[in-house]
């Protein structure tokens, strides 16, 4: 009975949404080919070398909006990610201290896992993924990419190692929980430094280039022959470290999660 | 009358909203907790796609919001601002994707712990056990 | 105009995949259908000229989400509503 009610509610919502679109809330037939005024302002001013009053020093408009025009949104998003991972650590931290309960299930050594071909291919792929993700993260102010894209692409690499070897092998090779946590904290400290440095000059928080009314001269956009996009390159690198390491922490925590309640989960393999 | 492009545009919106309705139905009406989480990810991703579709430019010449040169002239800048897609919804959607990922990872942790504690992943069953009525 | 037609086709394919994902009783199949829907959305992002989101969404929607959900399914039950599938 209630399932029919849900279906009718869903149908009403769908029809109402279509009516909203037709009535012009999302754009009418006359304005199909144009965008909103704020978007046009961002596009005009993001790399405007002629009038540097509001420019962001980066030809990539999306990264400029993420870290310059709406930078505080991104800082709080990093905080939300941090809080979620803190919750996961709170749920599973006891499992990191307990030793492995049954030696058979947990003690897969370095030689176990999938076949030799898969393991050899994984070694090559790991290096390639690392270089690609670092490239995507560091070039975030010239080409599409940025900190989050680089961090998410980097997270595929430890996943391959977990699948081909085992989580214990990855931990023993050096991706332990403590080390990833330390690297993540280093990334967060770097982020805080870049965000708060303009305050030393009595400028604005998270200021990228020189703005009217602030004595901070801005991070350099062109340093001799190099093109650094202001503060965007440092912010992207810090965010790459934070996101990549947080994913490794989540994978390790998921592996030790069933040690917490005394091995109570009788799951299916 | 309206053009073919407008009809196709509205039809895409209708399909996306229908997917969102399916996701909402899955969150409310299914009893398994993992199925609820899958439906939640479907709902979140569909709403993100709607946001990007709003910022799209339905005209002849469109370009991605990336300036292709480091030494632009005034004409290049003007044509860039007239043909590029809106960059603001894209930045907000990147934020939304990462936040949904964080919340989903935490919810999956909670689901695994709930199964270890109650022995079942049926939501109504868990509510009954918490109220102390028994199965 | 052709890009809008492809957009409509991809949206309908995503709708079909999500309906199949909600109706599946085997949770591993539901995860597979959800990954199909993520692929359809990734192609939509490429069609709508959003390359930044495409990179994030392919890594997250096709790589991280199914892995996390398969982790969770392997530690709990596989079939919804009991251990047998009808």
- Please answer whether residues A241 and A187 qualify as being in contact, where contact means their C-beta atoms are separated by less than 8 angstroms: yes
Contact A254 C52 (CB under 8 A): no
- Can you tell me the distance from the alpha carbon of A143 to that of A63, in angstroms, rounded to the nearest whole number? 9
ipTM score: 0.90
- Can you tell me the distance from the alpha carbon of A23 to that of A67, in angstroms, rounded to the nearest whole number? 35
Q: Is C83 on the interface with B (CB under 8 A)?
A: no
Contact C55 A153 (CB under 8 A): yes
User: CB atoms < 10 A from the CB of A105, how many?
Assistant: 11
Which of C3, C14, C25 to mutate: most B Cβ within 10 Å?
C14
pLDDT in tens, C2-33: 888 999 999 999 999 999 999 998 999 999 99
**Residues of C in Cβ contact (< 8 Å) with A144:** 51-52, 54-55
Structural domain count of chain A: 1
Interface of A with B in 46-75 (CB under 8 A): 46-50, 59-62, 64-66, 70, 73-74
- Can you tell me the distance from the alpha carbon of A233 to that of A142, in angstroms, rounded to the nearest whole number? 10
Alpha carbon separation from B8 to A142, B3, B5, B101, C3 (Å, rounded): 34, 9, 5, 31, 10
Q: Is A223 on the interface with B (CB under 8 A)?
A: no
Does position B9 have pLDDT exceeding 60, yes or no? yes
Name the band, by pLDDT with cuts 50, 70 and 90, for residue B91: very high
Does position C52 have pLDDT exceeding 50, yes or no? yes
Look up the CATH number of the domain holding residue B86. 1.10.287.3510
- Can you tell me the distance from the alpha carbon of C11 to that of B86, in angstroms, rounded to the nearest whole number? 21
Residue A44, in any domain of the structure: no
- Please answer whether residues C81 and B31 qualify as being in contact, where contact means their C-beta atoms are separated by less than 8 angstroms: yes
What pLDDT, on the 0 to 100 scale, is given for residue A112? 61
| Over residues C69-78, mean pLDDT | 88
Residue spans of chain A under pLDDT 50: 102-110, 262-269
pLDDT in tens, C34-46: 999 999 999 999 9
Contact B66 C51 (CB under 8 A): yes
Q: What is the pTM of this model?
A: 0.89
Find the domain containing A145 and state its range.
72-96+106-259
Structural domain count of chain B: 1
**Residues of C in Cβ contact (< 8 Å) with A265:** 75-76
What pLDDT, on the 0 to 100 scale, is given for residue B135? 54
- Can you tell me the distance from the alpha carbon of A208 to that of A51, in angstroms, rounded to the nearest whole number? 16
Residue A62, in any domain of the structure: no
What pLDDT, on the 0 to 100 scale, is given for residue A104? 42
Find the domain containing B76 and state its range.
4-131
| Over residues B14-38, mean pLDDT | 89
What pLDDT, on the 0 to 100 scale, is given for residue A103? 43
Domain ranges of chain C: 2-75
C86–chain B nearest CA distance, Å: 16
- Please answer whether residues B10 and A22 qualify as being in contact, where contact means their C-beta atoms are separated by less than 8 angstroms: yes
What pLDDT, on the 0 to 100 scale, is given for residue A266? 42
pLDDT in tens, A53-109: 888 888 899 999 999 899 999 999 999 999 999 999 888 887 777 766 544 444 444
């Amino acid at each position: 009975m209630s399932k029919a009610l849900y279906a009718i509610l869903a149908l009403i919502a769908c029809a109402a949404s279509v009516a909203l679109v037709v009535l012009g809330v999302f754009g009418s037939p006359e304005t199909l080919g144009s965008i909103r005024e704020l978007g046009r302002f961002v596009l005009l001013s993001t790399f405007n070398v002629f009038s540097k009053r509001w420019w962001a020093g980066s030809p990539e408009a999306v990264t400029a909006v993420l870290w310059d025009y709406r930078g505080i949104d991104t800082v709080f998003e990093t905080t939300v990610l941090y809080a979620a991972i803190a919750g996961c650590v709170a749920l599973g931290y006891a499992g990191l201290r307990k030793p492995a309960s049954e030696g058979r299930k947990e003690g897969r050594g370095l030689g176990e896992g999938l076949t030799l071909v898969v393991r050899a291919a994984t070694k090559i792929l790991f290096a390639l993924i690392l270089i690609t993700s670092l490239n995507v993260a560091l070039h975030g102010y010239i080409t599409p990419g940025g900190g989050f894209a680089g961090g998410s692409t980097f997270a595929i690499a430890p996943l391959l190692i977990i699948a081909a070897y085992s989580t214990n092998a990855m931990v023993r090779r050096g991706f332990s929980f403590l080390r990833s946590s330390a690297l993540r904290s280093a990334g967060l400290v770097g982020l805080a430094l870049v965000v708060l440095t303009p305050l030393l000059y009595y400028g604005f928080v998270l200021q990228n280039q020189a703005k009217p009314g602030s004595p901070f001269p801005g991070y350099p956009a062109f340093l001799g022959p190099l093109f650094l996009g202001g503060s965007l390159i440092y912010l992207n690198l810090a965010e790459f470290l934070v996101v990549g390491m947080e994913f490794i922490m989540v994978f390790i925590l998921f592996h030790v999660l069933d040690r917490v309640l005394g091995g109570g989960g009788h799951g299916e393999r | 009358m309206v053009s073919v492009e407008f009809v196709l545009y509205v039809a895409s919106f209708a399909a996306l909203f229908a997917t969102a309705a399916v996701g909402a139905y899955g969150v409310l009406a299914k009893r398994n907790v993992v199925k609820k989480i899958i439906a939640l990810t479907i709902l979140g991703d569909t709403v993100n796609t709607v946001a990007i579709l709003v910022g799209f430019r339905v005209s002849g010449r469109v370009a991605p919001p990336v300036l292709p040169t480091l030494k632009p002239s005034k004409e290049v800048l003007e044509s860039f601002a007239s043909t590029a897609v809106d960059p603001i919804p894209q930045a907000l959607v990147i934020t939304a994707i990462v936040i949904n990922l964080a919340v989903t990872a935490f919810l999956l942790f909670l689901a695994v712990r709930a199964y270890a504690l109650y022995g079942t992943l049926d939501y109504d069953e868990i509510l009954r056990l918490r109220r102390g009525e028994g199965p | 105009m052709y890009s809008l037609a492809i957009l409509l086709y991809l949206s309908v394919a995503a709708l079909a995949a999500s309906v199949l994902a909600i109706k599946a009783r085997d949770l591993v199949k539901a995860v597979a259908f959800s990954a199909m829907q993520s692929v359809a959305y990734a192609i939509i992002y490429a069609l709508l000229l959003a390359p930044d989101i495409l990179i994030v969404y392919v890594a997250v929607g096709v790589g991280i989400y199914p892995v996390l959900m398969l982790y969770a399914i392997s530690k709990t039950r596989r079939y919804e509503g009991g251990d047998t599938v009808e």
